[in-house]
A and B are shown apart, each in its own frame.
Chain A
Amino acid sequence: MADLLINTLGLPGWLGWTITAVVAAVLILNVIAGGALVFIWAERKIAGRIQDRLGPTRTGGKFGWLQSLADGIKLLAKEDLMPEGADGMLFRIAPYVSFCASFCAFICLPFAFDVVGQRLNVGVFFVVAVLGLEVFGVILAGYASASKWSLFGAMREAAQVVSYEVPLGMCVVVPVMLAGSMDLVTIAEKQSGWFTNWYLFHDPFTFVVFWIYVTCAVASVNRAPFDLAEAESELVAGFHTEYSGLRWSFFFMAEYGSMFLVSALAAVLFMGGWNGPIPLATLLGLSEGTGDTAHYLVRLVGLANLMGKATVGVLVMMWIRWTLPRLRIDQVMTTCLKYCTPLAAVMFLGAMLWQIALPGGVIPVLRTPAATVREGWLPGPGGSPPASAKASDVAKVGS
């Protein structure tokens, strides 16, 4: 888009970039916030179904589809309370820190080829780092609330999330190693073709790594059975005990945003991102040239693919939440330090050796033709926007 504004419309560079950034930010913010609302509604419906009840049925006519919005309005109208002994500034700032951290990470998440806020050559690193910032907001909230329960929640969150970052990081590194790039677009692009190209099925080690990633991801976004920071039967509501109204809803949005993010990240890293299980576009002979209808169609299908995979991930998290009891803090730490971390380390080593010993896989036939990495429309890792994406721009990387 910046390309269009600057080169075609002749706007000055800084203006073009600013407009692009604002549009991308607004788009991401609204899509994810809207998505979070949908997920909150879905969680109510799914929890209802799992528990033999209906969930919301009336708000908005049918299926209670407006329930999240109605809740949002209710939260807006609520009295904004702050405990007397609270640290005012930190108390106010904490929800926004969490919220921003959760939503910032979407900047470099590729929803489809070149449907990405900003393609970063350190995309994976960025996502993991920014996601880790979310815990900062939680700790602030717990500390500033002047409530013992909140403090307990914050301390638990700090211990848990920081520990789980370690195996999570190791799991994330495996696809990075296989693709030879930290760029999320490149990683997804390398898995194009049949689903056998997905890193999930790359070798037995990556398969195990995926499940470790799932465990750690659930733990790092504080979902049951790892929702210790807000364990309602122990800590009342944990770190957000003292929050109400819109501030509380910001924490809520951040939680659902993060859930979607780690699911989408799993899809990109292990399940081919926007690439469907069957390379339909190639089979149908649709070209991905710029400008034509087929191009947009392919992008749209890619978007649906990624959204679908991420949604499945979120739904699985909801399913787990409404089925399992909560672990105890020492058990959570044991799971991380005694099982996940060593296992992830071994799997990392295994995947590395596999890559050296059997670069083509066990049955090379299953591997579809060498994946190619396109540069795309958006500015590449180098920062210079290519004039236009042509067939000649396709860079062969090989596998």
Chain B
Amino acid sequence: MASLVDDDPRIIEFDVRTDEMLVNMGPQHPSTHGVLRLVLRTDGEVVSEVEPHIGYLHRSAEKIGENITHRQFIPYTDRMDYLAAMNMNLGWALTVEKLMKYQVSEKARHLRVLIAELNRIASHLVGMGAYGLDLGTFSPFLYAFREREKILDLFEEACGARLTYSYITVGGLTADLPPGWLQKCEAFLDQFEPIIKEYHALLTTNAIFVKRTANIGVMSRDLAIEYGCSGPVLRGSGVDQDMRRDGEAIYTAMYEGYAFEVAVMKDGHYPRDHEYPAVPADAVLGDCWHRFFVRMLEVVQSMDLVRQAIDRYASCQGPLGDPVKLAEKMPTGDAYLETECPKGQMGFYIVSDGTATPWRARARSSSFSNLAVAHELCRGCLIADVPAIVGSLDIVMGEIDR
């Protein structure tokens, strides 16, 4: 190797090299979805490394779970993914039921599907609107919240709360629906269906939106599986997995008889894709656009499921059944169950020593795994792509930090 002499151009090159800069994006930053802190190593506008720092929202939910009864833990699950609290309740309730080998009434089963899918729509609406914010457009956010508000009104009528419901509980639901609720829900769906076109016009097909998302943050199928990604993030990479279809019996039994197609691209086509805007030419499977689009498809899918659930629930006779009164005695053993939450597969694990309180309560968060892949996706992107990529993962910090 040649020795460096004074006039070696490489020395000059070294002298004028640009400096790397460490930038803290968050925890107080408009586009980090709560209190996420991303440390960016940047060279000008180019980001060479993204390191997520979490823990700003840690509330010891799991430890608390060891000191309260199984049913008392339900409100704590509300505060994990606070945008889809119904699905969180459902996950925990089903896990306890799995431990107890308990089966809810047919009516409660359909009502659970109805409520959980309605909450999925609400969660995806926030995800969609917030993604618009990340890309610098404000209006879709408010359009999304306009419709979400109506879902929250329905929930409020059903259980009295708008964000932390604690509605689905061990052994069923805390209360039956009030009279006239189903009609209101149907009216909402009829009104909501044409509005989805608006969202597609504002975002999905918008030229700038496509430019900002297509071929950005491409996550290969293998990478997604490697990092344990789940939910729309996984399906956006073309992996055909949905716990509602592929999960454990106690969970899939809930969706038995429901017709739905998993929103994933198969042979270059999404289910019923003739009804929606065509996939743009620039988009690559696994990029931000696909992750976003899968969410939009799931909104429609959930609408279908809600419609089916309304019919089934309405045709069910008899009472809903009271929630289980969890007595001193619980079976000894453990139970783990993953359910398909809007953000991904949320798993709950309970170890029971036979007392009224769990010996160990554990939550496996989907957002945590989905966020973990961010540093792979953000390598070498521009600063503007960081919110675009992290936003497309649709994380909720309450679920990550618990």
Contacts and interface: CB of A to CB of B under 8 A. Distances in A.
Contacts of A148: 21, 23
Contacts of B137: 224, 322-326
A190 B315 CA distance: 77
B133 A233 contact: yes
Given A51-B143, A233-B387, A234-B31, A328 B382 contact: yes
A39 to B, nearest CB: 18
A323 B387 contact: no
A327 B142 contact: no
A348 interface: no
Nearest to B386: A234
A51 B208 contact: no
B142 A52 contact: yes
A274 interface: no
Given A325-B208, A328-B385, A329-B382, A233 B146 contact: no
B143 A330 contact: no
Q: Classify chain B: how many residues form its interface, as a range.
A: 20 to 34
Interface string B206-250: 101101100000000000000000000000000000000000000
A331 interface: yes
B30 A328 contact: no
B29 interface: yes
Given A52-B146, A326-B136, A149 B23 contact: yes
B394 to A, nearest CB: 15
A327 B135 CA distance: 8
A326 B131 CA distance: 12
A225 interface: yes
Contacts of A326: 135-137, 208, 212, 384
A236 interface: yes
A53 interface: yes
B132 interface: yes
Interface residues of A, number: 30
B383 interface: yes
Interface string A147-172: 01100100110000000000000000
B224 to A, nearest CB: 24
Contacts of A327: 208, 211-212
B134 interface: yes
A134 interface: no
A227 interface: yes
A233 B385 CA distance: 11
Interface in A29-74: 47, 50-53
A234 B139 contact: no
A233 B30 contact: yes
B136 A227 contact: yes
A228 B45 CA distance: 12
Given A327-B208, A328-B385, A224 B136 contact: yes
Given A233-B387, A325-B132, A328-B382, 18 more contacts: A148-B21, A148-B23, A152-B383, A224-B136, A225-B136, A232-B30, A233-B30, A233-B133, A234-B384, A234-B386, A324-B206, A325-B137, A325-B203, A325-B206, A326-B135, A326-B212, A329-B382, A331-B212
8 contacts: A52-B142, A234-B386, A322-B137, A324-B137, A324-B206, A325-B208, A327-B208, A329-B45
7 closest residue pairs by CB, A with B: A326-B136, A233-B31, A325-B135, A325-B137, A51-B142, A328-B384, A325-B208
Interface of B: 21, 23, 29-31, 44-45, 132-139, 142-143, 146, 202-203, 206, 208-209, 211-212, 382-387
